[in-house]
Structures are given as C-alpha cells and as structure tokens.
Amino acid sequence: MKSLETIATPEVDAAIARVLAAEQAARQAVEQCEVDARLRVEAAQVRAHGIAERAARRVTRVHRWTDATIAARTAAINAERAVLAMADPALPDEARRLAEVLQRLADELVSAE
C-alpha cells in the first residue's frame, strides 16, 4: 500500500480543491435558498394578512347593508300593518288574510337573526 505522500500529485490536489470549492458553492446555494424561502414566506404572510383585512371590511359592509335593508323592510311592513289595523274591522276576507300574512312575515323577519 502506498502512503498518502506518494499518492499526492498536482492532479489529486487540484481535484480535492475542486471538490472543496463545489462543496462551498453548494453550501452557499443552500443558504441562499433558505433566505429566499424565508423572504417568500414573509411576503406571503403579509399578502394573506392584507387579504384577510379586506375580506373583513367587505363582510362588515355586507352586514351593515343587510341590517339596513332588513330594518327598512320591517319598518315598511309595520307601517302597512298599522294602516291595516286602523281600517274598518269589517274587512273583506282577502284584506284580513293579507294582514295576517304581513303580520307573520314581520314576526319572522324580526325573530330570524
């Protein structure tokens, strides 16, 4: 068996240097990939947070619109019901049935949250 000193040649030294350089380049590439990945994750988190905030604002606007619409419709139904309640007690059957239906609808709208 030959000793290391007899094996060492300029070609072997050059090959070892290339391997070491390639290993260093690979480590640097992996470190850069880790940095890039962290930056992408952070950017995605910022974007997701912005999307969530916009969605929450939109949901709030929809809830406000829905609440206002329900309140306006309920008020209109209650006003019509009041008018019907003040009418002649001898209402025809159709008008009486309409008043009952409006009363049920108003009760459902008010109680269905």
Q: Which residue has the higher pLDDT, 28 or 111?
A: 28
Is residue 2 domain-resident? no
Number of domains in the chain: 1
Question: Per the structure block, which two tokens stand in for 22?
Answer: 């390639």
- Domain containing residue 58: 8-111
Give the pTM: 0.51
Is residue 14 domain-resident? yes
Is residue 1 domain-resident? no
Tens of pLDDT, residue by residue over 32-88, are 999 999 999 999 999 999 999 999 999 999 999 999 999 999 888 888 888 777 766
Q: Are 103 and 81 in contact (CB under 8 A)?
A: yes
- Closest by CA position to 110, among listed 77, 81, 88, 84: 77
Question: Per the structure block, which two tokens stand in for 13?
Answer: 């030294």
Is residue 3 domain-resident? no
